[in-house]
Each structure stands twice: as structure tokens, then as C-alpha cells.
Amino acid sequence: MFVINEDGSVLDKDGRVIFFGTDRYIQDIVEGDCCFICGQSRDSVPFNDEHVIPDWLLKRFKLHGDEIELPNAAGLRYGSLKVPCCAECNSRMSDVFEKPISQLLTSGYQSVAEELKRNGPWPLFSWMALLFFKAHYKNKFLRFHVDRRKDDFKIADTHPWEDLLHIHCIARAWYSSAILHPEVLGTLLVLPAKVRSHFEMFDFADLTEANLVMLRIDDIAIFAVLNDSGACLSMMFEEIQAQIAGPLSPLQIREVAAKLAAINLQVVPRPEFSSQFDMLNENYEISALKPEEVHIPEWNPKILGKLMHKLSDPLLRLAPNYDHVIDAVKSGQYTFLTMPDGKFNDGSME
């Protein structure tokens, strides 16, 4: 049977942590150096750590030596982005996630779309939650100030870790055997991506406040909003149907990510997530109280503009008309998705 510790953590009969109470989560995972899945320490079990971006992706796109731009504007090699993980959990994650997901995502957009129709969104959604959590978790090791003469404040010190506990629960549901109720599923959107050059075959972005993660692999663009119970997709569905009539360019992919994020930051009311336990039968369920209706009281285009600027700026820096375009992007009124007549932009505006 399950037992509850004084810190609110739930353990099974073998002593495995099924659910981290907030205090233990902060102490062992956020501030400690324990395996982010099982919670065991380096002194008790072998560790080999886990790549934030899976190694199969790094190898496929030869990214080990390339740099990702961090929130502090510094660069760090993809191959160096790792988080504490024991060898056993790392091996199990490979079997549960990486092998089937790598096979799926290297088969092309159409195969992914068909797989989602056949077997549902949960494996891909849970994997995206795992990517999002790892991308934030690695920031606990990275300085906020590049200048080492300044304090040792970490990037992760800016993250709302208690809010991210829900994402942690989703990311490790394969370990805890948690039953995920349908209302827990956030927005998962998979769209075709335009293939024009090798340099555009991979892209990754995450937005902390919006609980959004975006990944582009070959001709596949994947968007996940992790805490909205699907509200963002329902609010953007008609726009997607009306405006997107073909594969998306890198700028268009980032615009879709920004729009989903802007919606999630403004939509109300919010779902309420909770965990329930059947202590005797060792049953763990994650559920959500999902609002019957959601709305945005007053759309603020400046929120979209700020997000669009953040996501599109790296792709626009070398554009000859950069100043003009970036000012328009910041307004929240500019779009790369459609032409002035409202028709889908197939690339002639970029």
C-alpha cells in the first residue's frame, strides 16, 4: 500500500517516490542533485545523467557542438545540456520514450498525424512535457549573469518551481504509473513544416510563463501548451483552419508558438489540477477541474508582440529591413502567416 510522508510525498511499498510533496520536490529536485525522476541521490545509485535534447536528435542533426541561446543571452553547446538522472531511469526512459518517439518522428509528418489518430496524443504530449521540464531544470546549473564578478544567481532562480510541479508529475507519469485523466491533456498541435535547407530541419523553443514548448524536426512542427486543458487549441482552431493552408516556414512556426502562448497567458478561467491516491490499492490519478467555457476578457496585442519579438528576433537579425519589421512585430499586429489579402503566405513575404 502507499504511505504518506510528513512532507506530503507518497511512497509505494518498495519506497519509490510516487508523488513528490512540495518540500521534497524543492529540496531534492530543484535545489538538490537527485535523479529528477526517481529522486535517488548520486551516493545511492549510479548516475549517467540525461541530455535535455535527446541524444538521438543531437546525432541526427549534428548538434553536439552547436550552441543554444540561453535566457541570459549566453550560448551553451547542446551536448553540454544535461540534467541529473540515474542510470536506471535513463535506460527506462530510452525504452519508454526515446526509442518509440524517435521512430515516430523520423517517419515524417503524415505518419505522425496518422499515429495520433490511431493511438491518441498522450505519448507525444508526455514527451513534450518531459522536454519542457528538462529545459528548465538545466537552468539550475547556469549562471544568470555571464559576468562572473557578479553574484552566483542562477537562471532557474527566476522559474516558478511550485507551478512547474504539475509538469514534473506529467513528465514522470511513466515512472509513477499515474493515470492521466482526459482533462489533464493540454494543447497538442502538430503541423507540417516547410523543408528548404538542412539548416532549417531542427528548431526548439520554450516559454516559461506560458508553459509552452515547440519542437521542429524535419517536416514536423510540434506545439504543446502544458497547463491549459486544451483551451488554446479550441480558441485558435478556426484561425488555424482558415489561415494555414500549407507547410510552415521557420518564422511561421514561431508565430504559431507565440500566438498559442499569448492566448494561454490571457485566457480565463484556468483549469485546476490535482492528484488523488487510493492508498490501499496503490492507485494514483492526476485529474483537472476544467472550465466549461473560457474566454479572453480583453485581448492585449502587446503580449503577442512581446512573444513574437522574443521568438522571431533570432531569425530576423540579418534581414535588410530588420528595424522596420521588428517594430511591426512588437506591435502584435504583424503576421507572417498570411498575405495582406488574408490568403496563406507560402513564402513570398519572407
The per-residue DSSP string of 43-81 comes to: TTS-B--EESS-HHHHHHTT-TTSEEEPTTS-EEEGGG-
The residues pairing with 204 across neighbouring beta strands, listed in sequence order, are 215
Is residue 254 within 8 Å of residue 349, measured between CB atoms? no
pLDDT for position 147: 59
Alpha-carbon gap, residue 96 to 169, rounded angstroms: 16
CB atoms inside a 10 Å sphere around CB 141: 16
pLDDT for position 149: 64
Helices 301-316 and 322-330 cross at an angle (nearest 10°) of: 150
Residues in the chain: 350
pLDDT for position 265: 98
Q: What is the dihedral of CA 45, 57, 186, 342, to 10 degrees?
A: 160
pLDDT for position 145: 60
User: β-strand 283-289 against 179-180: which pairing, if any?
Assistant: parallel
pLDDT for position 140: 85
Alpha-carbon gap, residue 197 to 200, rounded angstroms: 6
> What separation, in Å, do the N-terminal and C-terminal C-alpha atoms of the chain show?
60
Q: What amino acid is encoded at 251 in this protein?
A: L
Alpha-carbon gap, residue 304 to 334, rounded angstroms: 10
Question: Model pTM?
Answer: 0.94
Spell out the per-residue pLDDT of the chain, length 350, in tens: 999 999 999 999 999 999 999 999 999 999 999 999 999 999 999 999 899 999 999 999 999 888 777 666 566 788 888 899 999 999 999 999 999 999 999 999 999 999 999 999 999 999 999 999 999 999 888 766 665 667 777 787 888 999 999 999 999 999 999 999 999 999 999 999 998 776 679 999 999 999 999 999 999 999 999 999 999 999 999 999 989 999 999 999 999 999 999 999 999 999 999 999 999 999 999 999 999 999 999 999 999 999 999 999 989 988 888 998 999 999 999 999 999 888 999 875 45
pLDDT for position 74: 63
- Three-state DSSP class for residue 278: strand
Alpha-carbon gap, residue 150 to 143, rounded angstroms: 10
The vertex-202 CA angle with 350 and 250, nearest 5°, equals 15
